[in-house]
Amino acid sequence: MFNVLTTHIPGVVILEPRVFADKRGYFFESFSAREFNELVAVPITGRPMTFVQDNQSKSCRGTVRGLHFQRPPYTQSKLVRCAQGAIRDVVVDVRKGSPTYLQHVAVDLTEDNCLTLFVPRGFAHGFSVLSDEAILQYKCDEYYHPESDDGIQLADPSLGIEWGLDLAEAVVSDKDRARACVADRPSVFDFNASLYAE
């Protein structure tokens, strides 16, 4: 039971659940395959989607992870939510030829707003931690494939991302710090090629 909130980039949507709260606390359905496929997957990708891997990460305040993706044929869609704390979640359209190429969506996901972000294939994904610590949970429709791991520079000035913190002081892995800017690397996604073909 959720509302689908569109963004300025077609295919990137925010899922707003119906939360039942009382003096004991609250309850909500964080995922329903039937409802997700009917309201999100089929309208966006043209087919039902099966998530095959659930991931969880814990990060301290000031951490930035990203901007990550997996190269074809192991590219992933993700369904991301913050179970504890608060993050700024960012997705960048890296599909060459897309009308929204290199545009991004940034949304604050928190344990209080209970929002979930759908990240389609062909997008780079990252997040910054705005609370003392944050636990991120996300589903993937393709298994992790280490040899296909890739990404772009999270501080690329051409992207204009506001991470909500000072990147010079952020906690970032050496691998993410070393990633190339968009102008210095070829695109691996083609907007005109189906990323959801069977």
pLDDT in tens, 121-178: 999 999 999 999 999 999 999 999 999 999 999 999 999 999 999 999 999 999 999 9
Residue located via tokens 């000035």: 157
CATH no., domain 52-113+120-190 = 2.60.120.10
> 3-state DSSP call for residue 28?
coil
Question: Has residue 195 got a pLDDT over 90?
Answer: no
Position 198 scores a pLDDT of: 60
Amino acid identity for residue 179 in this structure: R
Question: Has residue 196 got a pLDDT over 90?
Answer: no
In the annotation, is 68 catalytic?
Answer: yes
> Which is catalytic among the residues 101, 138, 144, 145?
138
In the annotation, is 138 catalytic?
Answer: yes
> Which is catalytic among the residues 68, 74, 104, 125?
68
Q: Where are the domains of the chain?
A: 52-113+120-190
For the entire predicted model, the pTM comes to: 0.94
Q: Where are the beta strands (DSSP E) in the chain?
A: 2-6, 13-17, 20-22, 25-27, 53-60, 64-70, 78-84, 86-93, 95-96, 104-110, 116-119, 123-129, 133-140, 149-151, 189-190
- The pLDDT mean for the chain works out to 95
